[in-house]
Each structure stands twice: as C-alpha cells, then as structure tokens.
Amino acid sequence: KKQEAWSARFSEPMSELVKRYTASVFFDKRLAEFDIQGSLAHATMLCEAGVITQADLQAIEKGMATIRQEIADGQFTWQLDLEDVHLNIERRLTEIIGEAGKRLHTGRSRNDQVATDIRLFLRFETDRICGLIRELLASLLAVADRNHDVVLPGFTHLQVAQPVTFGHHMMAYFEMFERDLERMQDCRKRINRLPLGAAALAGTTFPINRQRTCELLGFDSVTRNSLDSVSDRDFAIEFCAASSILMMHVSRLSEELILWMSPRYAFIDLPDRFCTGSSIMPQKKNPDVPELARGKTGRVYGHLTGLLTLMKGQPLAYNKDNQEDKEPLFDTVDTVVDTLTIFAEMIEGMKIKPENLRQATLQGYATATDLADALVKKGLPFRDAHEAVARAVRYCDQHVMGLEQLSVAQLAEALNLPELGYQADLVDQSLLDVLSLEGSLAARDHIGGTSPRQVRYAIDQAKIRLQM
C-alpha cells in the first residue's frame, strides 16, 4: 500500500532523494503544537456547522490529546515518507481513531493549514520577543539609573566630541530598543489574521464559519482574499525586517561594548561568564558574546534577504517554494530570542569604570564647544568664536595641556581676540568656569539633552512607559 496522502494518482514511487528533497518534516515538526491547535479549532467549527458529527469531534479531540502526549514524551515517530508535520499528525490521528481522523481535512488544504500554523507560531514567538525586549529595556534603564550623572566622552567620528553622561548613552539605546518593541507589536497586528478557510486557493464548498475558527484561535480577524491568504508570507518577511533592525541595534551596542572593554579604552568590564579566554594567550579575556551577536546580526539580515528573494518570483497562489520559509524564520526567532535573553543579563552585569571615563573625557578638549558658546554669549558671532577657540586648542596642543588648565592670562593669549578685532578684556574667569565637565553637562538642560537633570527626567519617563 502506498504511503503518500496523494499517491493514488501516481504510477511510480518517488526516489529516496526526491523524498528527502521535498520533505519538510525534520524542520516543520517544530510547528506541531500549532498544527494541533489549528486542527482542533477547525474540527470544532466543522462540527458546529454540521459538517462532521459530535462523535467525530470527540474522537479527534481524544486522538489529538494522545498525539500531544506522544510528542511531549518523544514517543511520536516522525516519518519522512509522510513529507511534513501536517501529514504526519493527520496519519497518526487516523491510526489512533480511525474514520474520524480522515474527516478532519474536510474543507481545508495544507496550504491554508500551513499558513495558519506559521501565523500561530509567529504570534507566540513575537509575544515572547516583546517580553524579552522589555527585559533588555529594564536592564538598560537600571544601568542608566545607576550612572545617570557619570561622565564619558561623547564621540563623533570616534573622536572625542563633547561630554555626555553614561545614563544618557544608555538611554539612547533604550530609545532604539523601544522602537524595536513598537515595530514588533505593530508587526503582530498583521500576523494575527486567520487564513484558514482559503483551502487550497479558492475557498471551499462546505458551509464553514471562518469567524468562529478565528474566535477559537484568538485571531483579530479573518483574511479577506483566499488567493492572498495561502500565497503571501509578507507577515513573516516583516517579522524578519523588524528582527533585522533590532539586531542592527544589538550589533551597534556590541561594537561599543567590545571597544569599551579593550584596554585602550578600559571603560567597562563585562562579567566573566559572558567572556572566554584564549587557548594560547593566558592573559586574555575576550568579549565573545558581543562579538558573536555582531556576527549573528549578519545571519538575520541573510534570512530577511532570503525570504524576500523566495517570494519575489512567485505567481499566485501557493507554490512549494514557500516551504523554504521555515528554516530562516525559525533561525531568526532562535537567534533573536537567545541574543535578547543573554543581553538583558549581560547589560545589567556590566561594570563601569568612572575614573577612566573621566580621564578619557579630559583628553580630547571635550568642552571646547562650551568655550565657544561662552564667547558668543559675550557678543562674538559663533564663527569667530569657533576660530578663536580653535587657536586655543592648538595652543594647548603645543603646550600639552587641557583647556581647563589654562590661567586667565594664558587663555587670553591663546584666544588672541584682538587679532579677530575684539577686545582682549572679554577674557575673564567666567570663560574658564564653563570648561569643567560637570558645568558642560549641566548646561545642556533641555528635553533630550545630556544634563543629569534631563537624564533623570528621561529615565523617570521611561519607567512610566515601561510601567516599572
């Protein structure tokens, strides 16, 4: 007796290689729980619509309970000959309950079945990922909170630019990941629609009640076009796009952690449990976790490109190409879930070295802009103030000193205001006062600025949004 669910039409069996090539059970068995949920809802609806009997429904429910248990116990025998998760479960159901098992597939196709399974799977995983993003946000917030006024050099072009606070820097990532959370929540709206009822592509002749199945499975609405329902995977592509952007943020953060842990920076230390040593160099402690996260970002981008490419040439409606959507999707979910789980814990455990951060900030004339701003407040146009301060920086470079180390007389000499047509006596102690790191920070006191007061406010607002 032939095994394949559709084999009566065929006159010769498939070769082993073609079976293996076309089968998906060894990866799509991961959808089993969602396949069962979908089947139970479908059967309930069929029974209520009078398409199958109450006895059939009860048998199907009993059989599915057994199958669930077998899968949980690792006792279920997945068969390559049965191609995919759907046919494996249906065949086993029929083995257990007989006739009623064969009625389950009434008014349904694997095409709408698989589309439903993936949506149920992705809804579940998206919710899990949203929870994990919230955990990462909470970690960033905790670190920002503890260090809201710790100074560090803000960079542009990786050159010291202006002082910022560590809290401000962490809150920048908070903003990025909060938008990632929004993107995931938004994507969920388009995931959570029921395609079941589209059958193979055109709908079905049975008196199905899609609203009822929708309600049973907790979808927000039913899809509106049967051809579209079975053929598009844009919701999965959107999920991969949101995941790619999220991983891009993870990768930027990773890059900074790696730099900051280098002895050249020595800004932070990551807990030992997130680092590894070297098999040859005994002194090494490498930031492997952020390095891997930076690397794994590439594979998530790859999956996005893979799915876009998978979809682009497909005519309506379902094509077997779509079976290739699963492995990239599963790997994206696993990569994102693991990365977020680890990062939430690692960020929280990061040790900051405030003295090194301060020293690094003192090295690059980080308050030069403050000096220029102070000259503007004394009446110089900004361009002239910029020019004068640039000279002062050059003076300090030649004398190997910081701007804040200048005396009033030295500052006057260095700025050389008369050469630009201004009075030399504009230079006084008030100009030196603006050169302190704390003064520079405190002066940027507006929404979105780095003053400790504003960072405190940003943290408090974020706590309210996170409901912490």
Q: Is 247 in the site for ligand ARG (CB under 6 A)?
A: no
Q: Choose the binding region for ligand ARG from 44-52, 89-97, 156-164, 319-327 (rule: CB under 6 A).
A: 319-327
Which DSSP category does 418 fall into?
G
CA nearest 415: which of 405, 404, 429, 426? 426
Restricting to residues 25-64, name those near ligand ARG by CB under 6 A. Answer: 28
Task: Tell me whether residue 114 or residue 455 sits nearer to ligand ARG (CB atom).
Answer: 114
- What is the CA angle 152-158-161, rounded to 5? 55
- Residues in binding contact with ligand ARG, number by CB under 6 A: 9
Q: CB 80 → ligand ARG: shortest distance, Å?
A: 13
| Cβ–Cβ < 8 Å for 387, 417 | no
Query: Of these residues, 7, 262, 278, 430, which one is catalytic?
Result: 278
**Nearest Cα to 299, choosing from 254, 342, 329?**
329
Cα–Cα distance measured from residue 465 to residue 68, given in angstroms and rounded to the nearest whole number: 39
Identity of the residue, 111 or 451, whose beta carbon is nearer to ligand ARG in the bound complex: 111
Shorter beta-carbon distance to ligand ARG: residue 24 or 213 = 24
Q: Which residue has the tokens 């389950």?
A: 104
List the one residue from 139, 322, 361, 454 that touches ligand ARG (CB under 6 A): 322
Nearest to 417 by CA among 437, 431, 402: 431
Establish if 120 lies at the interface with ligand ARG (CB under 6 A).
no
CA distance 246 to 175: 12
For residues 64 and 93, give the distance between their C-alpha atoms in angstroms, rounded to a whole number: 7
Choose which of 35, 56, 84, 238 interacts with ligand ARG (CB under 6 A): 84
Minimum distance of ligand ARG from residue 150's CB (angstroms): 52
> Dmax of the chain from CA atoms?
104
From 108, 110, 168, 296, residue interacting with ligand ARG (rule: CB under 6 A):
110
CA distance 39 to 117: 10
Which tokens hold the place of 25?
A: 């059970």
Annotation marks residue 109 as catalytic: no
Q: How far is the CB of 321 from ligand ARG (least distance, A)?
A: 9
**Options 24, 37, 213, 361; binder of ligand ARG; rule CB under 6 A:** 24
């006057």: which residue's tokens? 412
Q: What is the DSSP letter of 81?
A: G
Q: What are phi and psi of 161, to 5 degrees?
A: -115, -70
Cβ distance to ligand ARG smaller for residue 141 or 199: 199
Shortest spacing between CB 142 and ligand ARG, in angstroms: 42
Residues composing the chain? 468
> Does residue 320 touch ligand ARG according to CB under 6 A?
yes
Q: Which pairing describes strands 193-194 and 221-222: parallel, antiparallel, or unpaired?
A: parallel
Which of 11, 157, 279, 446 is flagged as catalytic?
Answer: 157
Nearer of residues 312 and 320 to ligand ARG, judged by Cβ? 320
Q: Two tokens at 424?
A: 């030399």
Hey, which residues does 160 pair with through a beta bridge?
Answer: 155
* Using rule CB under 6 A, residue 111 touches ligand ARG: yes
Minimum separation from the CB atom of position 22 to ligand ARG (A): 8
For residues 322 and 115, give the distance between their C-alpha atoms in angstroms, rounded to a whole number: 10
To the nearest 10°, the Cα dihedral for 397, 400, 401, 402?
A: 40
Kindly indicate which of the ranges 108-116, 125-133, 148-156, 245-253 contains the residues binding ligand ARG, using the contact rule CB under 6 A: 108-116
- Residue 323 engages ligand ARG in binding (rule: CB under 6 A): yes
Catalytic residue list contains 157? yes
Least distance from C-beta 190 to ligand ARG, angstroms? 19
**Residues belonging to the active site:** 157, 278
Binding-site ranges for ligand ARG (CB under 6 A):
24, 28, 84, 110-111, 114, 320, 322-323
